Amino acid sequence: MSIARYRQFRQTLKNTPFTGRYMPYDWTDLPSPISGRWMAYSMMLDEFARELANTLNGFSTDVHRLSAWSIMIAPLPQKQQYEATEEFIDPIATNSVNLPYIVKGRFSFAAAHLCHQANMLKQDREWRDDLPLDRDIHQGVADQYGKPWRSYKKLKKALDAIDGATFRRGTRDFRNAYNHRFSPRFVIGITHVAIRKIDKGKGTVSYGFGGHKPLDLEKVVALLEEQQQLFYTAFEAFQGLVREHEAAIRAN
């Protein structure tokens, strides 16, 4: 039955419009040969550009798959929806809904490292290798080291839009719940049958009963497609930042 279901999915996938696009590879343009001073920047840029493209392209492929699944399972009876979700949908959907937060962090990590290296051009002899350890790098760190670069403002604006309130609300804060509590299910399954609430004004505690319905896959796909476009905007802004670095390195 799983094989037959997957064959049906592949046929549906062929007829499902692809709403995404794929990010390019091999687009960087540092001088060649390059001074040893810029070896760390060059090697980091190669890796970061490739891995960001890999992440975004994989996400676009998964959103397309989820779109096809949402079409295919809609008319199925509940038992078959459960089987398809358990076998195929849940791993892809879980990864995809978690990814906006991850992508935001990866762009920040890449920008922090590259701007830190490129700041040798801005600070010259005052430059210090004082970037925090990798595990301590977040968007605030990227903001600090990206400040000297005009193009960083555009990247920051693009990153601020990713994983915003609308997405978190639409997925019922899935990423946070999945990692720290119990997240809602996709397609089928009730969660949060008992919820504890505190009225801070009255200082009272109450409990609600009933449960939350699962996330509707079609609505989740629509939210992911919005994030997808924000990813592309961030990637283009990241390219703009790198272009500014490259021009400064070449002039130097």
Q: What is the DSSP string of 110-157?
A: HHHHHHHHHTHHHHGGG----PPPGGG--HHHHHHHHTT-TTHHHHHH
26 three-state secondary structure: coil
Residue 21 in this model has a pLDDT that exceeds 90: yes
Give a yes or no: residue 169 inside a domain: yes
Mean pLDDT of 147-154: 97
Distance of alpha carbon 183 from alpha carbon 192, whole angstroms: 9
What does the pLDDT average to over 235-250?
A: 97
Average pLDDT over residues 146-169: 97
Dist CA 143 CA 155 (whole Å)? 10
pLDDT at site 225: 98
- Whether residue 182 lies inside any domain: the answer is yes
Percent of the chain with pLDDT over 70: 100
Q: How many domains does the chain have?
A: 1
The beta strands (E) that lie in the chain are given as: 194-199, 204-209
Whether 99 contacts 55, CB under 8 Å: yes
Domain span holding position 22: 2-186+216-251
76-121 residue pLDDT tens: 999 999 999 999 999 999 999 999 999 999 999 999 999 999 999 9
Report the DSSP beta bridge partners of residue 186.
215
Average pLDDT over residues 166-187: 92
Burial class (CB in 10 A: 0-12, 13-18, 19+), 90: middle
Task: Give domain status of residue 200, yes or no.
Answer: no
* pLDDT > 90 in the chain, percent: 81
Domain assignment of residue 238, yes or no? yes
In a domain, 192, yes or no: no
Query: What confidence tier does 147 reach under pLDDT thresholds 50, 70, 90?
Result: very high
Per the domain annotation, does 205 fall within a domain?
A: no
Least confident of 106-115, 159-168, 202-211, 226-235: 202-211
